[in-house]
Amino acid sequence: MSLAPSNRYSADSGFAIEDVWTGLHASGFGQAGEGRSFSFHVEHQQLIVEVYRPRLSGPVPQAEDVIATATRKANDIDLFDERSLVAAVRDAVANAQPVPRSAR
């Protein structure tokens, strides 16, 4: 398991990984640009990414803060290699689909 230094993986696009833990139960979080944050984790051999709305009201996002999600099979991701995991997360964030909302 490893912990990446703050903003180690950042680009001009606004995508930045703040923390990443590798391994079978990989997880982490970061910024997706435009004030949006995201988190990811591996569950049941799937990479699950949640993108949150900008300007969260508290330190811990709630279910209603999720604006987009992405899932991907973790079979083809080297979960023990930080670079492979970060690349998969970056692709998942870019391809996240909006969460349908009921009447607001």
Answer whether residue 50 shows pLDDT above 90: yes
Give the phi and the psi of residue 94 in degrees, each rounded to 5: -65, -30
* pLDDT digits 0-9 by tens, 91-101: 999 999 999 87
| pLDDT the model gives residue 101 | 78
> Helical H runs in 5-77?
none
Q: Mean pLDDT across the stretch 16-42?
A: 94
The b-or-e profile of 67-103 (16+ CB within 10 A means b, else e) is bbebebebeebebeebeebbebbbebbeebeeeeeee
| pLDDT the model gives residue 98 | 96
Q: Mean pLDDT across the stretch 26-37?
A: 92
| pLDDT the model gives residue 10 | 55
Answer whether residue 42 shows pLDDT above 60: yes
Where does the pLDDT of residue 39 fall: very low under 50, low under 70, confident under 90, or very high at 90 and above? very high
Which stretch of 10-19, 40-49, 73-82 has the lowest confidence by average pLDDT? Answer: 10-19
